[in-house]
Amino acid sequence: MAIKNEEKPKYGVLENMMYLIKNMWSWDKGLFLFFVIQIPLIVIGPLLNIYMPKILIDSISQGVSIRQFLINIGIPIIGIIIVESMLKASYFKAQIGGMKYRHIYTLKHAEKSIDTDYENIDGPKGQDKLMKAIMATIGDEAGTQAITAVLIGLISNMVGMALYGSIIFTIHPLLIGFLTISSLINYFIGDYANKYEYKNKDKLSPVGKKLEYIRTKAGDFKSAKDLRLYNMTYWFQDMYDVFLKDGIELQRQNIYRRYLANLADGALAFLRDGISYGFLIYSVLYRNMSIGNFVLYFGAISGFSNWLSGIVKNLNELNRIHLETCDLREYFDMEDRMNRGKGVELPKEFELPCDIELRNLYYKYPGTEEYTIKGINLHIKKGEKLALVGVNGAGKTTLVKLICGLYTPTKGEIYINGKNSREYNRDEYYTLFSVVFQDTHLLPKSIEENISLQKKENIDEEKLSKVLYISGLMEKIKSLLRGKETLLMKSIYEDAIDLSGGELQKLMLARALYKNGPIIILDEPTAALDPIAENEIYQRYNELTKERTSIFISHRLASTRFCDRIVFLDEGQIREYGSHNELMSKNGKYNEMYTMQSYYYKDKIGGEEIA
C-alpha cells in the first residue's frame, strides 16, 4: 500500500544529532564524558580477542619457553578481563544515564503540552503532533534515549572498521572495497524501511489514539455503568478489534519491509563472508600464509564485517532517531501566538467591571475552509449580563473560547476595556476570566482543593464557605463525614467519593466563583440539574454576577430572562439580539425556539414557568 506524504522533515540529520548532543552536554557533562570513554573500550576488547589466537599459535609454533608463553598470553588476557569488566560496569551506568536523559525530554514535552497555546493541541492535527512527540519519548528504544548508545556504537564501529581495515588491507586492497560496497547496499535498504515507517506514523497515530481511548474508557468509573446497562461491552470489543486490526496491519507493513531489509542483510553477509573466507583459505594453500596470520585475518575479516554491519545498523538507527527527533522538535517549536512578554496593564479595581467589544470577528479551525464565527460585532457593556443562545453548532462555545483567549481570531479584534486582547500578557489575561465549561475536570484532591486550586494552607476559608453556599454545594458538604476535606476520584483513593453530574457542575461553579475573575462565563452550567435546582441557581444569578460582566450560554431559553440582553447565534452569526420580551415580540427564531421548548416544561416554581 503506497503512503502519500508530501511533507519533508523540517530538520536535517546532522542538525538533529547536534541538537541532541548539545543538550546532553548542557544537561549532564559528566554523562557525556562517560559515554565518550566507552568508545576505546568497545574497540580494544575485540581487537585483543582477535590477536589472542595469533599470539597463542605463533608462540607454540615458535617453541617459546613456558615463561615467555605465559607472558605472551597473560598480557592480552589481563587486558581482556580489565576491558570487559569496565564495559559491563559502564553499560549499567549508560542505561541509567540514558533513561535520565530521556526523562528530561519527557518533562519538557509535558511542560510544552501544559503551557502551549490551547489552540495548538486542540483538534485532530494538534493531537497527532502530540502523539508523535510522545512516541519519541516512550521506552528504552525511543530516540531521545537510544541516541547515546547509537552514537557510541557508530563511533566505535567506525574506529574498529579503520583498525581492522588496515589489517585486511595488507592481504588485498580490493577486499576492503568489496566489503564496503556490500554494506552500503544494506544501508540503503534499511534507510528505505525507516522512511516507510516514518510516513506510516501518520496513519498509526490516529489508530493509537482510538485504541488508547477504548482502553481508558473500558476501566473508567463513569463509563462502567453505561457499558453494562446498555450492553455497550460488545461495541467496545468490536471497535477495539477493528482498530487493533488496523494497527496490526499498519505494523505488519512496517515489519514486512523490515523483514526484507534483514533478509537482504543476511544474504549479503553470507556472500561477503563466503568470498572473504574463501580468499583466506586460498592464501593459506597457495600463498604461504602462516596459520597464525590466517587466524588473525580470519578474525579481522569477521570483525570488519561486524563493524561495517554495525555502522549500517547505527546509521539506520540514527535515521530513525532523526525522524523521531523531527517530530519532537516540531512539537516543541509550535508557535505560541498569544503574547508571552510584557503586556498592557490589567484593569484597575476602579475600572471594573470590564467592557468587552468584538469587532468584525472571524474564526475558522485549523485545516478547515469554513468559518465557524463570521463577522461578529458585539459590545458587552460593563456589568452587563449577556446570554448566548442558539442550536448546537451555532458557535457559542467557540465564541467564548475566543473571548477568554483560548483561541486567537482568524480575523478581527477583541477589546477588553478598550485594549486589544493581543496586547495583554497571556497569563495575566487569563486572570480576568472565571469560566465554567460544559466538560468538567477534577484533580485527585479534596473538594476544597478542587475548588480553590490552592494548597490547603493557602485556602481562604471565608471565601470558600461563601462560594459553597452560592453554588448550592454546601448541603452536600454537610452530609459528608469529612466535609470539604473529602477526597474525590474513587479510581485513585479508596476513601474518595464520586459526585453526581449536578454536584460536579455546582463544584465547577464554585471553582469559578472562588477565582473571582471580573468576567464570568458560564457555558451550560446547569445542564445536569433538574428544573428546580436550576431555578435555585438562577434565583442567585444576580449575586453570582454582582459587579461582574457575565456571559451565559444555555439551551434552556427560560434562563435567558435573567439576563439584560440575549444574543441569538445561528451558523456563527448574530441573527437576533435584545431582551427576552423584545425577541419574543419579533416572532423570529428565538420566539420559535422558546415556544417549542415551553411545551416540555409547564411547572410553576416560585411563580416562574420553567422552560
- Judge whether 87 and 41 are in contact, CB under 8 Å: yes
This prediction's pTM: 0.67
Per-residue pLDDT at 413: 92
The grid cell for 605 is 416554581
Per-residue pLDDT at 314: 82
In this structure, which amino acid lies at residue 357?
E
User: Which of 281-295, 349-363, 487-501, 571-585 is predicted with the least confidence, judged by mean pLDDT?
Assistant: 281-295
Is the Cα torsion angle 410, 414, 420, 422 positive or negative in sign?
negative
Per-residue pLDDT at 357: 93
Per-residue pLDDT at 362: 92
Is the pLDDT assigned to residue 415 strictly greater than 90?
yes
Per-residue pLDDT at 229: 59
Average pLDDT in the chain: 79
Per-residue pLDDT at 53: 75
Per-residue pLDDT at 222: 62
Per-residue pLDDT at 18: 83
> Which of 33-47, 175-189, 364-378 is most confident?
364-378
CA 146 to CA 20: how far, in whole Å?
Answer: 11
CA 177 to CA 165: how far, in whole Å?
Answer: 10
Is the pLDDT assigned to residue 609 strictly greater than 50?
no
Confidence at 377, pLDDT banded by 50, 70, 90 = very high
Is the pLDDT assigned to residue 62 strictly greater than 90?
no
Beta strands in 21-94 (DSSP E): none
In DSSP notation, 432-479 reads: TEEEE-SS----SSBHHHHHH-S-GGG--HHHHHHHHHHHT-HHHHHT
Is the pLDDT assigned to residue 564 strictly greater than 80?
yes
Distances (CA, A) of 599 to 105, 205, 557, 568: 57, 47, 12, 20
94-132: per-residue pLDDT in tens?
677 777 778 888 888 888 888 888 888 887 778 888 888
Confidence at 189, pLDDT banded by 50, 70, 90 = confident
Average pLDDT over residues 581-585: 87
Residue with cell 557525556: 32
